[in-house]
Structure 1
Amino acid sequence: MKYMNKILFVLLMVVSFSCTKLEESFNSEISQNDLSSVTAEGLLTSTYNSFATYQDGNFWHLQEHTSDEAIAPTRGPDWDDNGQWRALHAHTWNADHGQINGAFSDLLSAQFNASNVLQFNPSTQQAAEARFLRALTMFSVVDGWNQVPFREDLSDYRFDPVTLKGTEATDFIISELNAIMNDLPDNVPAYIASKNAAKVLLMKTYLNRGVFKDDRTNPTFDPADMNQVITLADEIIGSGKYALSDAGKYFDNFAPTNNDISKENIFTFFNENGIRGSDIRNAWYQIAHYNMDPGGWNGFATLSDFYDKFEASDERRGINYVYPGTLPNPGNRQNVGLLAGQQYNLTTDAPLKDRQGVNLAFTREVSLRETGSNLEMTGIRAIKYPYDYATSGDQKNNDWAYFRYADVLLMKAEALLRTDKAGDGLIIVNSLRAKRGATALASLTEVNLLDERGREFYWEGWRRQDLVRFGKYNDAWQEKTADDPKNLLFPIPANQLAVNPNLIQNPGY
């Protein structure tokens, strides 16, 4: 049974951290109730649970749909949603975009929840976990908006939250993580914040420190920061707790039993049927065609240019992955990865058809607006999380993989590349590629390292950040033209500006 699996959710706090009026109302309401029922343990569980925005939620959509690896085409009358998906992919959003506003609110709510744990006499470890979770949300806010509203003391709302920007925000995150490091546990399941999870977040903060500035058009990489990335990576590698998945086992990291079988997962978001978690089945439903098993909503796809970054031998592109509860698959058909071409019934091996009776073959071609007779099947589909057939009901057991050992290795390789040690970085990248069934690279460059990160982490919520750091986010790609540098940051929602005068709208909005 997973940790904290029988804790009652005492509170589900979804107030925005920067919204003073909501905070005052919330605390007034709490004061009128019996506080004896509120515990740090219950609040911490609720805080973990509020991280659903990273798992196919609003923030995940911002990281993926604004990139070159995801598209959500309007399929006739389906998936229009007032054009919000098209706006994300084409970088034509405005300051009122619903998912941008939702992601900002989601992250600040999770940040508030983490801070609130500290008000209820947590143990030393509980406080450290809460501060780690708060640092993670702050990292994501500075990544997307470069302005992080922050309130340390939740007992006095006479003053507006301060706003931490750029270097100030990253310096605070680094100091927080170092301060709590010794209080975090070592040998715990991946869904509990640990020392190594904090080290991975430190690595990401140092790696992006030169990006999280007021001007992101020219990222810089201080050798001292890169050396910190390398040192932290060596500490995680030296712990001996992790290893790259064996050949044919890449999808162990995303399977319904990944908490038990993954060798790579360092920090995950908890999902267990009947206990708690977010709706991980959406990772399947948002992609799968209506006639697949189970039928989905036939929405998201990837781009053919991204698909073409993979060799046919690379198992990350897709395999028949056998796992507990999977369908019989008598034809040994691909059931995970990037699905292209004719699809089959995985029980009978009969070719699937669309709702018009035409063979269901996912096409390389896809447009932001799909019309015509084949609109149901356009676009290659990405199935990163094997469907949990063994569990009934909507809630499935795949824990969402957020920090993986492969990321530690590729971040180290990147830091080596940026400190003129490309040869050492190449050894790391080729060792990973060998595990995945890909051929060795002859040299390591920013171009092929960015591609490697795409192959390794597609659909995991890192692509936008990677494109920004490598200076490619404003480039043209399929169904997107080269665009305005203002889009390197998202707009601050109007409702947040209205309640916190310390927030300033980002340039260009």
Structure 2
Amino acid sequence: MKRLFKYSLIVCLGFSMAACTDLEEDLVGDITEDIVVEGINIGGPGSSDGALTALYGELRNAGTANHGGYYSIQEITTDEMFIGAKGGDWFDGGDLIRLHQHTYTPNHPFINGTWVQTYNAIATANDNLGSGNLSDAEVAQARAVRAYFYWRLLDSYGRVKLATETNQDPPQASRQEVFNFVESELLAALGISEVSESMDLSNSQLADGGSAYSMNRYGAMGILAKLYLNAEVYTGTPMYDKAEIAASYIIDSGQYVLCGEGCSVPNLGKRPRVDSDPAELEGYAAVFAANNEGNPEHIFSVRYDEATGAGMNFSQMNLHYSSQFTWNFQEQPWNGYATLEEFYNSYEDGDARKENNFIVGPQLDFSGSALLDYAADDDDIQLNYTPEINELAPNSLREAGARPAKFSYKQFGRSDMDNDFPIVRLGEVYLIRAEAVARQAGNWTAAEADVNVLRARAGVSEYNGNLTEEEFLAERGREMFQETARRTDLIRFGKYNDEWWEKPASEPYLNIFPIPQEQINAGGGLTQNPGY
């Protein structure tokens, strides 16, 4: 099998343990001859084959699972995660504190970076669609993927430009217009005029199932379900009935199943001499494992691969420097992202998601010996991740905060991870339907049937007539931790402006990020969102 490879070197000047947020790449050399590697297949939809390879690659390039862009502004603005300033380490000019405390401005580099990354992805889609080289099926995929990126912009910035052609500079659209565009593009890809009980998708050019790396009917329907679930926030008009129908279409299709008992993969992070490390990751843990490709719960996923699909850096972002010796990482972690104590404590003991999603307590190295931190800033030289956090700044303890581990780590891992990142998965679809049903009924106990399906997998007791709105939001947080859903959820539930640890109450205008000042200064008629 022949493959054409291009190699590039990422240059990060002034890099510190805090991280590198310079997204520029310098091409230093090309290998232009075909390379034949017998017995290795790295192809398939969304990887290195096909006319849409570059577009699916933009899902990685647009900040889905790394530091400095979309993932960061969706996570550390919420009550899920924070990055403590450890002296000068991770202070980063106060940018991370401003995200946590909702004091971000139009000049924030991550907010501008997210804008640039997302429009770069949209430009790739427009180039594909304008090439005249796509089949009808590829056109449908490209339109749906572009709609997904516009959904990110709709959710994050509200009023953006709807560029649908290469080198086009349209006027700034209203949030309603962006909503209408995202909806119409997804409906067109699905071959229907509206989502309804009687809809017939037989005319859709999207595949009826298949690889989670390619946009299929269920992936597009899942993004529509997210859109409709938040329609009242985006437009002022609730569309929970359509969210329910879209979610039910996916669930009732039988194409996907929850990864539960018997759904397992080998634990690539297991240390042979540490008995507490399981040999297999089963159920919820398998959904996010380093070898989670082909998981039956994945509907539309971003393909990450440490060699050919880089861009997921959670092991670097989350773990203490010394944790390099637990997993024999190729590079030393940066010791940044950690979990807020109250969020960690929202899980009850015995919840399989709590055990999977976090690393806490005294740490051991690969051989099972105590993992030492010779520069410890507490009284114990053994590395010990504590749920308790002393402060956000200026001297957050370097071992403070449970560490995110939902996307599990593997032995001898590189700085880029292998775990695929689900954009649409069946577990979330159950939650979308549950919430949509409850909101229409005006009764949160109506959500219990679907929520209890997930509770059963997690090994915790079912709700029985006692589910409330507050508890549903907490349950959604427990299931969807680290999947860039929390900011959107908090806004929909009217909680984003609440006070939480080291964050005062904030103003409602902050629910939409500012239009980056750099983009306004570039010309083209962009105007700022109200309040900034």
TM over 0.5: yes
2:7 and 2:242 map into 1 onto residues whose CA distance is 39
Corresponding letter in the other structure for 2:361:
G
Quick one: which of 216, 231, 254 aligns to 2:288? 254
Which residue number in structure 2 is paired with residue 28 of structure 1? none
Quick one: which of 301, 310, 313 aligns to 1:268? 301
Between 336-345 and 143-152, the greater mean CA deviation after superposition: 336-345
2:177 and 2:288 map into 1 onto residues whose CA distance is 35
> How big is the shift at 1:137?
0.9
> How big is the shift at 1:441?
2.3
Q: Alpha-carbon deviations, 1:331-376, whole Å to 9, x = none? A: xxxxx4212222222x32222222236122112232211528xx22
> How big is the shift at 1:54?
1.5
> How big is the shift at 1:202?
0.5
Q: Is the 8 A contact 1:110 1:137 kept in 2?
A: yes
2:283 and 2:367 map into 1 onto residues whose CA distance is 25
SS of equivalent to 1:171: helix
2:296 and 2:52 map into 1 onto residues whose CA distance is 26
> How big is the shift at 1:409?
0.3
1:386 and 1:152 map into 2 onto residues whose CA distance is 38
Q: Is the 8 A contact 1:174 1:202 kept in 2?
A: yes
Q: How does 1:30-41 map to 2 (within 5 A)?
A: none
Q: Is the 8 A contact 1:167 1:209 kept in 2?
A: no
Which residue number in structure 1 is paired with residue 65 of structure 2? 55
Q: Is the 8 A contact 1:7 1:42 kept in 2?
A: no
Q: How does 1:384-423 map to 2 (within 5 A)?
A: 384-389=406-411, 393-420=414-441, 422-423=444-445
Runs of 4+ in 1 over 3 A off after TM superposition: 5-11, 40-43, 393-396, 421-424, 499-502
Quick one: which of 393, 396, 402 aligns to 1:369? 393
Quick one: which of 54, 76, 82 aligns to 1:46? 54
Q: Alpha-carbon deviations, 1:10-53, whole Å to 9, x = none? A: 99xxxxxxxxxxxxxxxxxxxxxxxxxxxx97662112112231
SS of equivalent to 2:299: strand
SS of equivalent to 1:71: strand
Answer yes or no: is 1:337 the counterpart of 2:357. yes
Which residue number in structure 1 is paired with residue 320 of structure 2? 289
Which residue number in structure 1 is paired with residue 510 of structure 2? 487
Q: Alpha-carbon deviations, 1:193-218, whole Å to 9, x = none? A: 111000001001111111014xxxxx
Q: How does 1:157-196 map to 2 (within 5 A)?
A: 157=168, 160-181=169-190, 182-196=204-218
SS of equivalent to 1:149: coil
1:263 and 1:45 map into 2 onto residues whose CA distance is 23
Q: Alpha-carbon deviations, 1:378-400, whole Å to 9, x = none? A: 11111111113266x44432111
Quick one: which of 454, 473, 487 aligns to 1:450? 473
Which residue number in structure 2 is paired with residue 216 of structure 1? none
Q: Is the 8 A contact 1:9 1:46 kept in 2?
A: no
Q: Is the 8 A contact 1:388 1:398 kept in 2?
A: no
Which residue number in structure 2 is paired with residue 70 of structure 1? 81
Cα–Cα, structure 1 residues 371 and 263, in superposed 2: closer, same or farther, change >3 Å?
A: same
If each structure's helix is expressed as a fraction of its own residues, which one has the higher value? 1
Corresponding letter in the other structure for 2:302:
F
SS of equivalent to 2:321: coil
Q: Alpha-carbon deviations, 1:95-134, whole Å to 9, x = none? A: 1000011001111111111111011121111111111111
> How big is the shift at 1:418?
0.4
Q: Is the 8 A contact 1:492 1:505 kept in 2?
A: yes
SS of equivalent to 2:105: coil
Corresponding letter in the other structure for 2:360:
A
Answer yes or no: is 1:351 the counterpart of 2:364. no
2:110 and 2:205 map into 1 onto residues whose CA distance is 35
Which residue number in structure 2 is paired with residue 25 of structure 1? none
Between 40-49 and 117-126, the greater mean CA deviation after superposition: 40-49
SS of equivalent to 1:231: helix
1:136 and 1:6 map into 2 onto residues whose CA distance is 29
1:231 and 1:494 map into 2 onto residues whose CA distance is 40
Quick one: which of 242, 245, 248 aligns to 1:228? 242
SS of equivalent to 1:185: coil
SS of equivalent to 1:266: strand
Corresponding letter in the other structure for 2:374:
R
> How big is the shift at 1:478?
0.7
Structure 2 runs not aligned, ≥5 long: 9-47, 191-203, 262-281
Which residue number in structure 2 is paired with residue 316 of structure 1? 353
SS of equivalent to 2:232: coil
Quick one: which of 251, 276, 283 aligns to 1:237? 251
Corresponding letter in the other structure for 1:457:
M
Corresponding letter in the other structure for 1:441:
Y
Quick one: which of 128, 133, 158 aligns to 2:140? 128
Tell which has more relative contact order, 1 or 2 (C-alpha 8 A, sep 6+).
1
1:411 and 1:478 map into 2 onto residues whose CA distance is 28
> How big is the shift at 1:246?
1.1
Corresponding letter in the other structure for 1:140:
R
Corresponding letter in the other structure for 2:490:
L
Q: Alpha-carbon deviations, 1:292-343, whole Å to 9, x = none? A: 123411111001100111011111111xxxxxxxxxxxxxxxxx42122222
Q: Alpha-carbon deviations, 1:425-446, whole Å to 9, x = none? A: 1111112101111222242222
Corresponding letter in the other structure for 2:435:
E
Q: Is the 8 A contact 2:107 2:518 kept in 1?
A: no
Q: Is the 8 A contact 2:305 2:416 kept in 1?
A: yes
Superposed CA RMSD in Å reads 2.3
Answer yes or no: is 1:208 the counterpart of 2:230. yes
Q: Is the 8 A contact 1:144 1:490 kept in 2?
A: yes
SS of equivalent to 2:422: strand
Which residue number in structure 1 is paired with residue 95 of structure 2? 84
